[in-house]
Amino acid sequence: MVTPVYLTKIITMKKKVKAIMLPAEDKSRSIGQIVKAVFPHPKAEIGELFISDMNVSESQEEPQHLYFVSNDEIKAGDWCMFYNQLSEVISVSNGTAQIRTTTIMSKEDAQFINDIKGTNYKEGSFGKMTHGFSICQLPKVIATTDKSLLINWSGHEEYTAREISAKVYLPQIPQSFVESYVNNPVEEVEVDYFFVFCWCAQYT
């Protein structure tokens, strides 16, 4: 009689990645989120960062999100940065990625689009741009404070090794780092990677 035994092994690796902060497209705040003072504020000078406790008017605070980006290979369904602009990877082929980039409009861009489409965009409005770019120049987002970002995930079920796939949230940056970043913004951080290997051994 053949008895299958499923084995797993976890390997960890440390890697340095970049930390990027961008204005949040969703202007609703949450307690503990990084915000920037945009008007006179009891907790900070204009332009300074702090952690929101939502005790003042929403108009006084501009929500921000943090992103950790690496040189890991990107694939369809991932998120990446295009010149420090958040982008969703639509497809990848022959070293080129088709991406949908979230842009923050300048005054000139907003006026240009309004003249063409009859819209009412303002400076600082968010827009979307779909285009192609070399995957070698698109840092991959591996963690964030933005809870709206989903990615495609595939792997194997523990013990059975059954292949599974799903839409999952990107790993969230710990609140302890968020709070330290406000007082000491850094451009680089060391993170832990976990690699899980599983295989089936058969015994008779």
% the chain with pLDDT above 90: 41
10-38: average pLDDT = 87
pTM for the predicted model, two decimal places: 0.79
* Structural domain includes residue 17: yes
2-23: average pLDDT = 80
* Structural domain includes residue 120: no
* Structural domain includes residue 86: no
Q: What is the pLDDT of residue 17?
A: 95
Q: What is the pLDDT of residues 169-184, one digit of tens each?
A: 899 999 999 999 999 9
Q: With 90 as the cut, is the pLDDT of residue 167 above it?
A: no
Closest listed residue to residue 61, CA positions, set 32, 103, 96, 84: 32
Q: What is the residue range of 41's domain?
A: 1-69+173-204
Closest listed residue to residue 28, CA positions, set 54, 10, 49: 54
**What letter does residue 1 receive in the DSSP assignment?**
-
What distance in Å separates the CA atoms of residue 153 and residue 164, rounded to the nearest whole number?
A: 8
In order of 36, 46, 63, 141, the CA distances from 59 in angstroms are 11, 12, 10, 29
* Structural domain includes residue 46: yes
* 82: three-class secondary structure by DSSP: coil
Q: What is the pLDDT of residues 126-140, one digit of tens each?
A: 778 899 999 999 999
Q: For the range 157-160, what are the long-range contacts, defined as Cβ-Cβ under 8 Å and sequence gap of 24 or more?
A: 158/6, 158/8, 158/198, 159/6, 159/8, 160/6
> Scanning the structure block, which residue is given the tokens 């779909």?
130
Average pLDDT, the chain: 83
Q: With 60 as the cut, is the pLDDT of residue 162 above it?
A: yes
**How many structural domains is the chain composed of?**
1
Closest listed residue to residue 135, CA positions, set 82, 65, 84: 82
Q: What is the pLDDT of residue 177?
A: 94
Cα 121 from chain centroid (whole Å): 25
**What letter does residue 145 receive in the DSSP assignment?**
S
Strands (E), 96-158: 96-104, 126-134, 140-144, 150-156
Q: With 80 as the cut, is the pLDDT of residue 164 above it?
A: no
- In 124-138, which positions are buried (b, 16+ CB within 10 angstroms) versus exposed (e)? ebeeeeeeebebeeb
Task: Give the residue with greater pLDDT, 104 vs 66.
Answer: 66
* Structural domain includes residue 63: yes
Q: What is the pLDDT of residue 151?
A: 84
